[in-house]
Amino acid sequence: MSKARLPIPEPEPARIFAALGDRTRLSLLTRLSDGQPRSIAALSVDTNLTRQAVTKHLHVLEEAGIVRSTRIGRESRFTYRPEPIAEAKSYLDRVTAQWDDALLRLKHFVEDDPGGGRSA
Amino acid sequence: MSKARLPIPEPEPARIFAALGDRTRLSLLTRLSDGQPRSIAALSVDTNLTRQAVTKHLHVLEEAGIVRSTRIGRESRFTYRPEPIAEAKSYLDRVTAQWDDALLRLKHFVEDDPGGGRSA
DNA sequence: AGAAAAGGCAACTTATTGGTTGCATATCCG
DNA sequence: CGGATATGCAACCAATAAGTTGCCTTTTCT
């Protein structure tokens, strides 16, 4: 039994965040998140970078699972995939939840113990 | 009138995401997000990295505004700051919102035009 | 067929990152 | 005071990232 090949490697949060950690890639992301597939050429206009630079950024996004590429004729179309962004949000939600939980505990501690716990 | 100095540079989303794009820093973040300030030494135990490596990661988090450091006696305490994480979530929410919006438009388009818009 | 359009691939350069070691400084404590 | 604790600072190193240029292949379109 060989391990089933995953079509998409399900990248960990760190890889997703790293892919988002660049202005150019965030810009590409916001353009693609309207659901419209776009070619590299289309994504390269309105940028001062070369087509190859844009290509590299798109590959970074693709390896993070944030976009998918499909070759159609002579062009390759990049399409937004929502799952990794959802995973990133979920991760941040857990961080926030732990923080909120800590605040709540502190509040209860103070309220339930007006003396602040000091025995003196 | 000189521009008022911001105590914290209010980093852009890309910088925040970049700071989150590393396993070690995510690990430090989850430890600090319980609200407890910790010294560098305390954050360096349970890691195979050197203290200086941890220090560098903490500085990256600090420059992204995610933690704040305060020197107390001979040690510097790092404390979690929730604002940048909230900003990151808000950014991802906007991406998701645009995506959802696009899906909704598509749904309406299909429902309002059962012929798919093809005149032939 | 032949030019134009869209990409892929590879080599190369520069800057940044992640990590290390060594040493100096500041505190705390008995 | 003097040792242990906690950190800061600087130099240095290897790997990766960001971006470029040059060239070759595949499609389209007329």
Q: What is the CATH number of the domain that holds A47?
A: 1.10.10.10
pLDDT at residue A86 tops 90? yes
Residue A119 lies in a domain: no
The minimum CA-CA distance between A85 and chain B, rounded to whole Å, is 7
Quote the pLDDT of residue B120: 34
More confident residue, A84 or A10: A84
Residue B97 lies in a domain: yes
Quote the pLDDT of residue A116: 45
Q: Which of A63-67, A95-99, B94-98, B115-119 is the least confident region?
A: B115-119
Residues of B in contact with A103 (CB under 8 A): 35
Residue B8 lies in a domain: no
Does residue A52 approach strand D to less than 7 Å at its CB?
Answer: yes
How far apart, in Å, do the first and last CA atoms of chain B sit?
A: 66
Is A14 in contact with B20 (CB distance < 8 Å)? yes
Q: What is the mean pLDDT of residues B98-117?
A: 74
Interface residue of A28, A90, A99 to substitute, partner B, most B CBs within 10 Å: A99
Q: How far apart are CA A53 and CA A31, in angstroms?
A: 17
Residue A3 lies in a domain: no
CB contact under 8 A, A85 and B98: no
Quote the pLDDT of residue A6: 44
CB contact under 8 A, B21 and A26: no
Cα A62 off chain centre by = 11
Residue A107 lies in a domain: yes
Return the percentage of chain B with pLDDT > 90, whole number: 73
Instruction: Count structural domains, chain B.
Output: 1
Structural domain harbouring B26: 13-112
pLDDT, tens digit, for every residue of A23-33? 999 999 999 99
